[in-house]
Amino acid sequence: MINDLWYKNAVIYCLSVGTYMDANGDGVGDFSGLMRRLDYLHGLGVTAIWLMPFQVSPHRDDGYDISNYYEVDPRYGTLGDFVEFTHAAKQRGIRVIIDLVVNHTSDQHEWFQQARRDPHSRYRDWYVWSPKRPANANSGVVFPGVQKSTWTRDPVARAWYFHRFYDFQPDLNTANPEVLTEILKIMGFWIQLGVSGFRMDAVPFVIAAKGPKVRKPVEQYDMLRAIREFLQWREGEAIILAEANVLPNTDMEYFGRDGDRMHMMFNFQVNQHLFYAMAAADARPLKQALVATRSRPATAQWGLFLRNHDELDLGRLTREQRESVFAAFGPDPDMQLYDRGIRRRLAPMLGGDRRRLELAYSLMFTLPGTPVIRYGDELGMGDDLSLPERQCARTPMQWSTEPHAGFTRANRPVTPVISSGPFGYNQVNAAQQRRDPNSLLNWTERIIRMRKEVPEVGWGDFTAIATGDPAVLALRYDWRNNSVLFVHNLAGTPREISFAVGVVGDSGNLLINLLSEDHSRAQAGKHRLVIEGYGYRWFRVGGLGYLLQRSEV
């Protein structure tokens, strides 16, 4: 049913509370501040907010190192503020999903502290230990250049512990049933406080077999079913959006062949090939990635994104492909990270070029899946490469030309605001863009509105249409006797293409442009289209509006 499975056509917006809006003036964003910005988000048209970790944490990995799963970090507010926030979001029809970071805890977590101090503690087996240095201690490092190994000796425990990520993030022993029970308890807790699901961190590592003798970690997929089942018992419409950067041939293991595991996964395959396609002005590798990730259960959905809070991971591309993305979008070594990615934000990567930004966004909104926007990208915010690692793309939201971009009235925000250059807050901020009908912000608002009127993208199946030009991607979606067609020119020069829409009957002879008056009528069954450099078109096939033609919902 079109009104069920809300995530099939949601517009998700991700943000971290600490850098969004500071209401109490201490230099850190908080839930009260975020609440004041809910009308902004409602106006933009987002239907779900994904909150990055906000639980108690020493903040050595931006909150992905949690030391208490059942409390809000005091710098962001209280549990009371959190519940006020989920309530206020609900009043506006906005759902909230939160990060679920259970591959590891912070080393400051009480569980780890007890585990290391006492070999007989009930928490000892909640982590992964080895009496001596395992042979594979140097393999499987996730942050090369910053992280040295995956096993570290703890002098208190007099043993080595496993950490897939930084050494202050000891892995939980997820094979221990008590740990799984605790994970479910954490989920149940936040569900009870009003969330509609979770963005689950590092899923392949959560379900991997862990231990000193493990050479190649094997995924324990059944665990995903147990988690899903519990969630659905507690809250029928809650979802899990999995962070799993995996090869397409294991996608169905994560979704579950019967659709009984993860509801959603980020499409990393499409993400990387999308950037390569833009760098090379060649749509073919993107098309291949779309075909490779086509299969998914009817109830599942892809999360489509351009940039997120991490580096743009290009690890799945060939070396030549990766080099060409580096050359196009991140040529300086300082823009690159972990030997595999680019740490910049989207707008500077695309040279602040409005045509390319619109192209990238138009693709994100029309490729198969549900779009996930990163806060500030609706304004074209930039990065601060003087900040270490991934921090460069996590600067505070730029609201206005007031001091510190209107983010805080403190003398010094904890994370510095971008204040100079073409992406400084005097140039890029929400207040000015709100008043300018041609701003990127208002463009994004309009494109979101239109995206909601093409539910075929979320529900339908796609066909790639031959355009005769490798730079031009044309995708048609069919669903319930309705079809829509999207054309994107990845090249910077105009292209003339000719194509048949390929639907049965004569409805394909008319293409109604959804964004301008520039409609298209076929001559002898073929449409001829001249599309400008980096141009894009959104068409409804056949002309009769979706709302008029739609028979049953």
Smallest gap from residue 142 Cβ to ligand NOJ (A): 7
Catalytic-residue membership of 201: yes
Selection from 141, 138, 65 nearest residue 107 by Cα: 65
* Cβ-based nearer residue to ligand NOJ, 5 or 203: 203
Contact of 63 with 52, CB cutoff 8 Å: yes
DSSP, residue by residue, 59-82: -SSTT-S-SEEEEE-TTT--HHHH
* Residue of closest CB approach to ligand NOJ: 64
Binding residue count for ligand NOJ, defined by CB under 6 A: 9
Alpha-carbon distances, residue 469 vs 83, 281, 502, 538 (angstroms): 52, 10, 17, 18
Examine residue 358 and tell whether it contacts ligand NOJ (CB under 6 A): no
The answer to whether residues 116 and 110 touch, using CB atoms and an 8 Å cutoff, is no
Binding pattern to ligand NOJ, positions 57-76, x when CB under 6 A? ----x--x------------
Going by the DSSP 8-state scheme, the letter that residue 417 receives in this structure is: -
463-489 b/e with 16+ CB inside 10 Å = b? ebbebebbbbbbbbbbbbebbbbbbbb
**Residue 222-251 contact track with ligand NOJ, rule CB under 6 A, x = bound:** ---------------------x--------
Out of 44, 97, 100, 101, the residue judged to bind ligand NOJ by CB under 6 A = 101
Helix boundaries (H) for 330-371: 346-349, 354-366
Distance CA 338, CA 142 (A): 8
Site mask for ligand NOJ (CB under 6 A), range 118-157, x = bound: ----------------------------------------
Residue of the chain from 73, 201, 377, 478 that contacts ligand NOJ (CB under 6 A): 201
- Pick 375 or 486: Cβ nearer ligand NOJ: 375
Q: Which of 171, 201, 251, 377 is catalytic?
A: 201
Q: Per rule CB under 6 A, is residue 378 in the interface with ligand NOJ? A: no
Does 243 participate in catalysis according to the annotation?
yes
Length of the chain in residues, anyone?
A: 553
Among 202, 241, 448, 531, binds ligand NOJ (CB under 6 A): 202
Please identify, using beta-carbon distances, which residue of 308 and 507 lies nearer to ligand NOJ: 308
Q: Which residue's CB is nearer to ligand NOJ, number 64 or number 459? A: 64
How far are the Cα atoms of 23, 95, 100, 179, 401 from residue 191, in angstroms, in the given order? 26, 12, 12, 18, 38
Dmax over CA atoms of the chain, in Å, equals 80
* Residues from 303 through 332 that contact ligand NOJ (CB under 6 A): 309-310
Of the residues 65, 243, 310, 358, which is catalytic?
243
CA distances from 163 to 170, 466, 504 (A): 5, 48, 56
In the bound complex, what is the minimum distance in angstroms from residue 171's beta carbon to ligand NOJ? 10
Q: Return the residue matching tokens 């029928």.
A: 236
Q: Nearest to residue 51, comparing CAs of 12, 90, 15? A: 15
Q: Which of 20, 31, 161, 165 binds ligand NOJ (CB under 6 A)?
A: 165
Catalytic residue positions, numbered: 201, 243
Which residues here bind ligand NOJ, judged by CB under 6 A?
61, 64, 101, 165, 201-202, 243, 309-310
